[in-house]
Every structure is written in structure tokens, then in C-alpha cells.
Structure 1
Amino acid sequence: MITDFLLAHRWLMPAVLAAFVVVGPFAAPALASRPRIAWALALLSLLPLAALTLVPVDRELFSRCEVGWSLPTPARVELFANLVLFVAPAYLAAVASRRPLAALAAACVLSAGIEMLQALVPAIGRSCDTSDWLGNALGAVVGVGLAAVALRRHRRRGTREPLPA
């Protein structure tokens, strides 16, 4: 059902990613100075992630876990959606914590955990796929990269401002 929607609206995921790339660097300074809001938004961004990866679906599984290393591209709609799915949580966690590498590691571990859960609980009707993990990890790299650049710019600006009298 979700894949059908994404196939009918192929422009959606690249547009979401482009919007995030444009808006992300400008939002980071405001969020970095309000870590509680950034953490709250990071937790909220996990809701669609959980809904799209863990909510049970009614389908017959042909395999529990598929091993493949396909890179996500806009033409591979489902894989590209996996990439986009992890950009916001990784970005927000990196901004909130001001620790981009820790946020990247957490996002990669979270993705692996989701894939493991899909493999171990066949009742949810989802199968794990290493390509999904790769797409999620690349999305986390994009999100953390955007956050790191924005935080670096924010710190440089902060050091150039004169001290208050």
C-alpha cells in the first residue's frame, strides 16, 4: 500500500529530501539553542519511522531476511524512501546532542535493530533486508552531515560575535 502510494507519487521523496537540505541548515542554530525542543522533535520523527517499519501488514513472507546491497536512488522508490526516513531523526538527534557521530551510530544501530526485529517476528509480516539497512544508514549520514555543517557554522558565528558589555 505504501509502496503503491510512493510509486504513484515518485516526486514526493526527492522533494522531501530537497526541502530538508534547504531548511535544515537554517533550523539547526535555533534548535541547537533549544535542545529539549530538538529532542522532542527527534522523538516525534521516530513515529512515522515506527509506523512504516513495524506496524503489522497482511502479506505472505517469502523469506525472513534478504541479503543484498542495492543503493537507493530516486528511481528505486522504496529504497529511496528508506534513505529519507532516517534523515530527520539523525539530523535532530545530532543537533540536540551536538554529537553528530554518536547520533550516526545510534541511527545505524536503530536501523539494524528494526531489521532484526522484522526478521525475528514474522507475525508482523515484514521481512528484513540489508538494502533497507543500507538506505537507512545513508539517510542517517545525510542527516548527520547536514547537522554537522550547520552546527559548525553556528559555532563559528558565535565566536565572531562581540562579547556583551
Structure 2
Amino acid sequence: MIEAVLSASPLFWPGVLGSLLLAALLSRRAGRLLRAHRAVGFLLLFAVGGVVTLTLLPDVRMSLWENARYGVRQCSFDRVAPHPLSELLTATQSSLNVALFVPLGATAALAGTWGRRIAAGTFAALLPVAVEAVQYAVPALGRACDGQDLLDNYFGLALGLLLGVLAGPLGRLAVRSTRRRATRPVARRRTLRP
């Protein structure tokens, strides 16, 4: 399954590297925007870059022109249902769709203030709909709008939010203790003069 995803998207590795580079360069600003540590800003930017890389880069098994010509403008909502846990624990398209949105949900929960958490959560909740809308509107991408993808993405967001809520207090405690140690005055040693 993973090989099929990578073969359909030769821009996967450049997209991942570009996402890493942008996340590293802009993590401090994104952290400030979220009122959180820059690691949370890095996670946000890398998660959004991963979503864009895996969902909006064109499928190049056919040319863009052929994708546009043979692409069907419709969203499939038949057979949209939760998957059994055993299926989500194997490498399937659904499990990859779930895993793709877990970091984004965790980022929303790790934002520094309630207002920022709500804003990040709203952005995270709108992103799957925006991705499916772009896949529907731009058939040249060779992607398909699918209701099952939405369900899987929202399940991943929910898992990420849960993980972020559980890990948030521990992460904030670690950051505070690190900051306290860094700002604690250093005791000067007295030297005896002969």
C-alpha cells in the first residue's frame, strides 16, 4: 500500500523535505502564533505540509491532461462507515488517512491558550473539507473526492486531539522546568585571596 502511494507521487520526498525545511525555518513564528513552544509550531507546519504533499500533489501515473480529461467530478459517499480496528492497524488507505491527521489534531490541543486551541481546532476541522473540495474541483490532480476519506481524516483529528490533551500537561511541565533552570541565577563561587 505504501509503495503504491509513493509510486503515484514521485514528488513525495521533495514535498516532505520542503515541509521539513519550511517547518524548521518558520517553527518559532508558528509557535508564537499558537502561543506555544516552537516544537508545536514545527509540528503544525510539518503536519500541514504532509497533508498537502500526500493529498494535493498530482497523481502522475497519467499526465495532467489525461487526469483532467478522464477525471470524474463527483464525490463518493456510498459505503462511508467506520472501519474495524484491525483494518486501521494495517497499512491501508484508510489507516494512512487516519495517521495523516493525527499530528494536526495534537497540534490543536497543544496550542497555548484556549482561543488559540479553538482557532487551531477550527483550522484542523476545515482542512479535510478543503482538501476534498480541491480534489473535486481540480480533476487534473487525478485525485478522487471521497466521503470515506473525510471520515478517516476526522477520526485521525479526534485521536490527535486526545493525544494532545493527554500529553499537553506533561509537555507544558517540561517546558516550564527547562525555562526555570535556564533563568535561575548561577551562584558565584567565592574565591579566597591569599
TM range (shorter): 0.5 to 0.7
Q: 1:147: Cα distance to partner?
A: 0.8
Q: Which residue of 1 aligns with 2:16?
A: none
TM (norm. structure 2) is 0.57
Name the CA distance, whole Å, in 2 between partners of 1:155 and 1:45. Answer: 20
Task: List per-residue Cα deviations over 1:37-96 (Å, max 9, x = no partner).
Answer: 311221112212111100011354355311131324325710111011000122123213
Task: Find the partner of 1:77 among 75, 86, 92.
Answer: 92
> Which residue pairs with 1:64 in the alignment?
74
Higher RCO, 1 vs 2 (CA within 8 Å, ≥6 residues apart): 1
Structure 1, gaps ≥5 residues long: 7-30, 159-165
Larger Rg: 2
CA-CA distance at 1:146 after TM superposition: 0.9
Q: Which residue of 1 aligns with 2:151?
A: 134
Alignment of 1:1-165 (within 5 A): 2=2, 4=4, 34-57=36-59, 58=62, 60-62=70-72, 64-68=74-78, 69-72=80-83, 73-74=87-88, 77-99=92-114, 100=117, 102-152=119-169
* Aligned pairs, number: 135
| Closer, same or farther: CA 138–65 of 1 in aligned 2, 3 Å | same
- Tell me the TM-score normalised to structure 1 length: 0.66
Measured in 1, the distance between the counterparts of 2:169 and 2:39 equals: 20
- Tell me how large the CA RMSD over aligned residues is: 3.2
Change (3 A) 1:4 1:142: same
Q: Deviations over 1:108-133 (max 9, x none)?
A: 21000100110011111111101101
Amino acid at match of 1:83: V
CA distance in structure 1 between the aligned counterparts of 2:113 and 2:35, rounded to whole angstroms: 10
Contact 2:77/2:148 (8 A) holds in 1: yes
Residue identity (%): 29
**Structure 2 unmatched runs, 5+:** 7-30, 177-194
